[in-house]
Chain A
Amino acid sequence: NAGVMQNPRHLVRRRGQEARLRCSPMKGHSHVYWYRQLPEEGLKFMVYLQKENIIDESGMPKERFSAEFPKEGPSILRIQQVVRGDSAAYFCASSPWGPGGYEQYFGPGTRLTVT
């Protein structure tokens, strides 16, 4: 049973470009979470999605960031017009069930560097 997959593992973008980060959850998992790890900081929650629905986006910056989890295909975290402050590691996690404190299994992360 493959784990959570994220691609690309490393992504370099120039300021003003768009970044698209992909996450394929574990088989049988329909709940996806995105977290961001800034340098020298812990992980911060960004958004929680179920298939085709955004359930909680309280941690998402108001502008330039969006997320989706379509019926078919991976979850996508999209960052428009990237700035240097967006440089971070972005982790996706999945769980088989929703609220209830179930453990989340993390992918290897995507390291975004904005030049």
Chain B
Amino acid sequence: AQKVTQAQTEISVVEKEDVTLDCVYETRDTTYYLFWYKQPPSGELVFLIRRNSFDEQNEISGRYSWNFQKSTSSFNFTITASQVVDSAVYFCALSVRGGATNKLIFGTGTLLAVQP
């Protein structure tokens, strides 16, 4: 069975602080894909990043960076110099290769509040 755990329910930081959102996943499949989505207060879901299980390179996009470690089954997300606009719920998700579907299995999300 597949599972995604986001142990941090809520995080509150002050603007310009760095913050890391944790994501731990479980799967027995050797080929799988990991995602992060952002859900701002307006409610829509915004795609941030996709990673496949064979690519453990860390990725940086502006103030965002992702650390994928297969050894610990983690795919953590760091925001550097946080801003108020980063306030949102962040979801980590997993999909596995094989079968006829591509469904995403989501964690329960981490609510990030960035205070001015």
Give me the interface of A with B, judged by CB distance under 8 Å. Answer: 31, 33, 35, 41-45, 48, 55-56, 58-59, 89, 91, 93, 95, 98-109, 111
- Chain B interfacial positions (CB closer than 8 Å to A): 31-33, 35, 37, 42-47, 50, 52, 91, 95-109
Give A106's nearest chain B residue, CB to CB: B45
Known contacts A104-B47, A108-B43, A42 near B101 by CB under 8 Å:
no
What residue of chain A has the Cβ atom nearest to residue B95's Cβ? Answer: A101
Identity of the chain A residue whose Cβ is nearest the Cβ of B50 in the assembled complex: A103
| A-B interface, 3 closest residue pairs, ranked by CB to CB distance from nearest | A101-B33, A106-B45, A56-B101
Contacts of A58 in B (CB 8 A): 101, 103
- With known contacts A42-B91, A91-B45, A103–B35 Cβ distance under 8 A: yes
Whether A106 and B44, one on each chain, are in contact in the complex, defined by CB atoms closer than 8 angstroms, is yes
Contact A55 B45 (CB under 8 A): no
Collect the chain B residues with CB atoms within 8 Å of residue A95's CB.
102
Whole-angstrom distance between the alpha carbons of A55 and B102 in the complex? 10
A70 to chain B, nearest CB (A): 20
Residues of A within 8 A of B97 (CB): 99-101
Partner of B100, one of A44, A55, A103: A55
Q: Please, which residues of chain B bring their CB within 8 A of the CB of A104? A: 47, 102, 104
B108 and A45: CB pair below 8 A?
Answer: no
**Residue contact B91 to A43, C-beta cutoff 8 Å:** yes
Considering the complex, give the chain B residue whose CB is closest to the CB of A104: B104
Assess whether A99 is in contact with B100, with CB atoms less than 8 Å apart.
Answer: yes
